[in-house]
Amino acid sequence: MLAAGDVHMGGYGLWTSRGSATGVHDPLTVQILCLEAGDAVCIAVVDSLGLPAPVIREIQNEVAGRTGLAAMQILIAATHTHAAPDLLGLWGGAPDAYRSLLIATTADAVTAAWQARDQATLVHANARAPSKNRRSWDPDDLMAVLEARNATGGVIATLVNFAAHPVVTPMSNLQLSSDYVQGLRDAIHTETGAPVVFVNGALGDASPAAPEGATRFERAERYGHALGSIALAALQEATPIQPRLSIVSTTVSLTVENRVLRFANWLGLLAQSMDGGVVAAPLTYLSLGNSVEAVSLPGEALAGLGREIRETLHAPSRMILGLTGGSLGYFVPESEWETGRNDDYEETLALSRTTASELLAATRPLTHLPSLELRGRMLATQLTGRLRSSLMRAMQSGGPASAVGVCAIEAPVHTAAITADTDWSVSRISLRARNPNAAPDAWARTHLSAWENVEAPRQVSGLEDHEFMAADRAASATGLPDLPREAPGRGRPHGHRGALSRRSGDGLRPR
């Protein structure tokens, strides 16, 4: 394909001004992590500047037909490397053959990952890593890391979520590359032997803080290695994630006022319909146990919007999955629209002044109830953990008789302390309460009665309650696809689903 001279690279300059790719510095790949615990999700990240909606839909439809997954459970993202073929059509485009290769390779790899899922324990950690903000705000330096481990402790896959434009390689570079992302993946893979999935975050105004080096490629590699080392260090203090996965999605119509983008759409240059002055944007909310929440956005959110979305969430790890489900330009908060920051560059490639507000308005109802439920579970776990510690001490010191009094004496202290520290009202209640103070009110009685009539889920043989189903795949999308690589130490795939226990007796609701 490169010999024909029609693989134009995107991200820099104007139409075809950069020139076409002349070689490959490092392979462009797709990395996938599939998870299942009650619900299911596959996250596939392609080394690409951005993926248009038609390409994503083709991949989702192909995978859905092979696996039975719903399209909303198949998240397709781009790393945003500026050293990849232009699939968006703004910089000269890429051949149909490359487009077809990418779709087929990605669909095959996602399907293979789903079919290879096996028992796993999932852990998470947070860290801070170096980046810059090109609009002179404080940088969004949060990094969230997930790791899936098999029964023997071997790593199945690692996922890193961090915001920084992959632009260490300059406009003059005409070699295909994933930029610093390759160095990040290599650093972690060298230690774990497993594939690494990198999902960019609220990257709209996030720039890399690359160290010095003899060449731009050397600087990119060093920056990637530094980020990978930070992720590995964070995983040393990782905590387990409860085996519960929830995913919900919606579609919002975004106003298109940008005249340049509308003109390009009229010329047929864009691989994205903007008919009628609106464009459809998919949004997804994902939670893992009580530990991780993620919101996917089909474009490049600026740090301000990312922070606003994170503030609606409650989990210890909060992810923004950027350029997931589409590539609809920059999402600039109205409060900083055309205020001169970065010479208002991001505004030139934004759909409209109101895009960020439209996204935030759609995100809040999407995340509100699931995130409140997660917060309730977190507080219930905190309460039962405190009571369990008190009961164990009482049992050890005075036996069962001593433990009986703990609930009556210490439980009110613990519930009052949690209530005082949060904006939630926390109490212990039961339909058969011995203590009149533990009798439920009408609202709580309705819900407890409903739970009484729900059959307790059965444990699946061989699958403990701390396990997810997880699998990974990595494949090349450069023109000479590699065979999918499997992580070492993984058993044969099977289709068991995680069994989850239901807790009752703890009444929590926001005040």
Mind listing the pLDDT tens digit for each residue in 152-161? 999 999 999 9
H helix or E strand, kind and range, residue 102: helix 96-115
Query: Residue 247: pLDDT above 60?
Result: yes
Sign of CA pseudo-dihedral 256, 258, 262, 265: negative
In this prediction, residue 502 carries a pLDDT of: 24
Query: Residue 51: pLDDT above 90?
Result: yes
In this prediction, residue 475 carries a pLDDT of: 66
In this prediction, residue 3 carries a pLDDT of: 57
Bridge-partner residues for 350, per DSSP? Answer: 330
Q: What residue has token string 């969430």? A: 313
Q: What is the rounded average pLDDT of the residues 80-103? A: 94
3 state DSSP class of 332: coil
Mind listing the pLDDT tens digit for each residue in 306-328? 999 999 999 999 999 999 999 99
Q: Distance (Å, rounded) from C-alpha 245 to C-alpha 38?
A: 6
Q: Distance (Å, rounded) from C-alpha 46 to C-alpha 176?
A: 13
Mind listing the pLDDT tens digit for each residue in 216-227? 999 999 999 999
In this prediction, residue 497 carries a pLDDT of: 24
Higher per-residue pLDDT: 319 or 505: 319
Higher per-residue pLDDT: 29 or 392: 29
Q: Distance (Å, rounded) from C-alpha 146 to C-alpha 177?
A: 25
Measured CA distances, 230 to 142, 151, 227, 482, 510 (Å): 11, 25, 5, 28, 36
In this prediction, residue 98 carries a pLDDT of: 95
Q: Distance (Å, rounded) from C-alpha 301 to C-alpha 163?
A: 10
Higher per-residue pLDDT: 102 or 370: 102
In this prediction, residue 491 carries a pLDDT of: 29
In this prediction, residue 487 carries a pLDDT of: 33
In this prediction, residue 372 carries a pLDDT of: 72
State the first-to-last Cα distance of the chain, in angstroms, to the nearest integer.
61
Q: What residue has token string 């999407």? A: 366
Query: Residue 333: pLDDT above 60?
Result: yes
Higher per-residue pLDDT: 155 or 499: 155
Higher per-residue pLDDT: 249 or 412: 249
Query: Residue 417: pLDDT above 70?
Result: yes
Q: Distance (Å, rounded) from C-alpha 474 to C-alpha 486?
A: 8
Assigned token pair, 387: 């009571």
Domain segments of the chain: what residues? 2-19+27-374, 427-455
Mean of pLDDT over the chain? 85
Of 229, 221, 228, residue with least CA distance to 178: 221
The phi and psi torsions of 223 (rounded to 5 degrees) equal -65, -45
Mind listing the pLDDT tens digit for each residue in 335-372? 999 999 999 999 999 999 999 999 999 998 888 777 67
Higher per-residue pLDDT: 330 or 500: 330
Least confident of 43-57, 343-357, 405-419, 484-498: 484-498
Q: At what angle do helices 96-115 and 53-67 cross, to 10 degrees?
A: 30
Residue 355's CB: how many other CB atoms inside 10 A?
29
Query: Residue 193: pLDDT above 60?
Result: yes
In this prediction, residue 376 carries a pLDDT of: 78
- Whole-model pTM? 0.81
In this prediction, residue 272 carries a pLDDT of: 74
Q: What is the rounded average pLDDT of the residues 433-450? A: 78
Query: Residue 268: pLDDT above 90?
Result: no
